[in-house]
Structure formats: C-alpha cells, structure tokens
Amino acid sequence: MGLLTGKTALITGAARGIGKAVAMKFASEGANIAFTDLVLNDEMAAGLEATRKEIEALGVTCRAYAGNAADFEETQKTVKQIHEDFGSIDVLVNNAGITKDGLMLRMSEAQWDAVLNVNLKSAFNFIHACSPIMLRQRGGSIINMASVVGVHGNAGQCNYAASKAGMIALAKSIAQELGPKGVRANAVAPGFIETAMTAQLPEDIRKDWMKKIPLRRGGQTEDIANVCLFLASDMSSYVSGQVIQIDGGMNM
Ligand code: NAI
C-alpha cells in the first residue's frame, strides 16, 4: 500500500518540471493521476502524451487533459470530465505557472495580466470547480505552488511575486472556508530549484544564489514532490493553512 493508494490526484501544468515530478511521486505512492497542461502545438501534444505514458508505467491510471488553466469556463468542463472519468478528486495541486519578469517601470499591462491569470486565477478556477466535489466527499487536500518570492518579494518580479503571495493568501482563506468539512489547503514555496528555467542563469548569478543557501545546493524537483506528498497524504491530516518553504534554508 502506498501513501496515496485509492486516491485521485489532479495536478495542473504537469507535462514537465516540478508538476511532472509531483505527479510521478504521487503515482509511485499509488494515486491515480489526472493532469492538465497547455497544448498549443504538436510538440506540446507529444510532450503531454509522453508524460502520461511515463506515469502510467508506474502502474496507476493516468489521463492527460489539454487546456488553459487560466480559462474559467474551460476549467469547469475539464474538472467535470475528470470527475466523470475518475469518480473522485482527492488532491488538487495548482502548479501551472509562468514568469514574465521586468522592473515595475518597464512592465507592460500584458506582462502583469498574463502572470496573474496563469499563476493565480488558474488556482481560483480549479479550486472553484473542485471544492464542491471535495465538500461532497467530506475530504480533500489542496496544494498551491507558491514561491519564496511570494513571501519575501523580489526586484524585477513584482507580477510573479504578487501572484505567488496571492497563492499563499488563497490557500489560507480556503483552509478557513473548507476546513470544517475536512478539506485542507496549504501552499509550498520553492526556492532555487534545478529546472530548465534556472539552468539558463549565468554562472556568477548562480554562485551568488548558492552563497545564500545554507545547504549550498539548488533544490531538485523531487525535493518539492516529497513535501507535496506529505501534504497530499494523511501524514499531514492536522496541517492546514500553512506555507512550507523548500529552499535549503535560504529564508528563515
Ligand atoms: P515549467 O515551465 O517547467 O512548468 C510549468 C508547466 O506549466 C509547463 O508544463 C507549462 O506548459 C504549464 N503551463 C503554463 N501555462 C499554462 C496554462 N495557461 N495552463 C496550463 N498549463 C500551463 O516550470 P517549473 O519550474 O516546473 O514550475 C512549476 C511551478 O513551480 C510554477 O508555478 C512555478 O512558478 C513554481 N516555482 C518554480 C521554481 C523553480 O525554481 N523552478 C521556484 C518556485 C516556484
């Protein structure tokens, strides 16, 4: 028996990166997986299907759903379909996210809107669609993927930091609203994680980051997946409304 055997987990933006690592970890602990991602071309469609097959190879049911998490109507339809396909939604991980960095004075309205819509509104969309299901089940765990910059801010990322701060406040508010019916909500705040995004950073900037991290290494996607597993499972049955920073001790 795995920690999530018999549960259905829905993860947004999980074709690659942290979301994929979370989906793989959950599947390895027995959860059936529904995941979404944006599909704008054939390459993205192939990526979605490749990840679906990789997860299914772990011995669980896995279905992939193409869709824009920032679209309210589309999300309502997707979640309805997932509920029909799986019969329950026990864990929701709001992971889909983008960056469009820039200093405030140079930031366009389009940069602001895109990041807030994909990073924050998407979580509202999915929580709005999933919470009636979780309330009827009298249980569920919602995990919002925030960031350390959502706690501490970051020059050049005002849109991203605001969206991630919103993810934290959203989780805390939902924890208060849905807690009486057994639904928990938490946020995780990753620091410097070794992904395609951080691999592009110049060596000197990378070195500066490492100096700030007591554990002197970047995080692996599995470091995030492990904490999500804890929050998704009954191991955290008395943990709600929290934000867990996963950053090698960078912020204390
Ligand atoms: P990534 O870019 O590798 O993965 C993000 C996924 O979200 C992609 O598969 C992308 O197609 C999908 N996505 C983007 N827009 C979407 C939309 N409108 N609808 C549905 N799916 C969409 O990024 P990564 O690094 O795996 O990040 C995952 C989450 O973790 C994000 O929310 C990010 O902000 C957060 N995070 C990442 C950190 C890092 O160091 N990589 C640090 C802190 C937080």
In one-letter notation, the amino acid at residue 23 is: A
98-139 confidence digits (pLDDT tens): 999 999 999 999 999 999 999 999 999 999 999 999 999 999
Summarize the confidence of residues 78-85 as an average pLDDT.
Answer: 98
* pLDDT(159) > 90: yes
Ligand 1: distance of its center to the CA of 48 in Å? Answer: 14
174-210 confidence digits (pLDDT tens): 999 999 999 999 999 999 999 887 888 889 989 999 9
Average pLDDT over the chain, rounded to whole?
97
Atom of ligand 1 nearest to the CA of 219: 40
Atom of ligand 1 nearest to the CA of 149: 43
* pLDDT(221) > 80: yes
Q: Which residues' Cβ are closer than 6 Å to ligand 1?
A: 12-13, 15-19, 36-38, 68-70, 95-98, 118, 145, 147, 190, 192-193, 195-198
Q: For residue 199, what pLDDT is reported?
A: 85
Residue 123 annotated as part of some ligand binding site: no
**26, 9 in Cβ contact below 8 A?**
yes
Hey, what domains does the chain have and what are their CATH numbers? 8-246 (3.40.50.720)
Summarize the confidence of residues 169-173 as an average pLDDT.
Answer: 99
Q: From CA 252, how far away is CA 250, in angstroms rounded?
A: 7
Q: Which two tokens stand for residue 132?
A: 């009636």
Q: At what angle do helices 17-28 and 221-232 cross, to 10 degrees?
A: 50
8-38 confidence digits (pLDDT tens): 999 999 999 999 999 999 999 999 999 999 9
- Pairing state of beta strands 243-246 and 62-66? unpaired
The residue whose CB lies within 8 Å of the most ligand 1 atoms, and thus the one to mutate among 98, 117, 118, 217, is 98
The residue whose CB lies within 8 Å of the most ligand 1 atoms, and thus the one to mutate among 197, 200, 223, is 197
The residue whose CB lies within 8 Å of the most ligand 1 atoms, and thus the one to mutate among 195, 212, 213, 250, is 195
Q: Catalytic site residues? A: 160
| Best CA proximity match to 34, nearest among 4, 13, 50 | 13
- In the chain, % of residues over pLDDT 90: 95
Which residue minimizes the CA distance to atom 12 of ligand 1?
13
Ligand 1: distance of its center to the CA of 197 in Å? Answer: 9
* pLDDT(168) > 90: yes
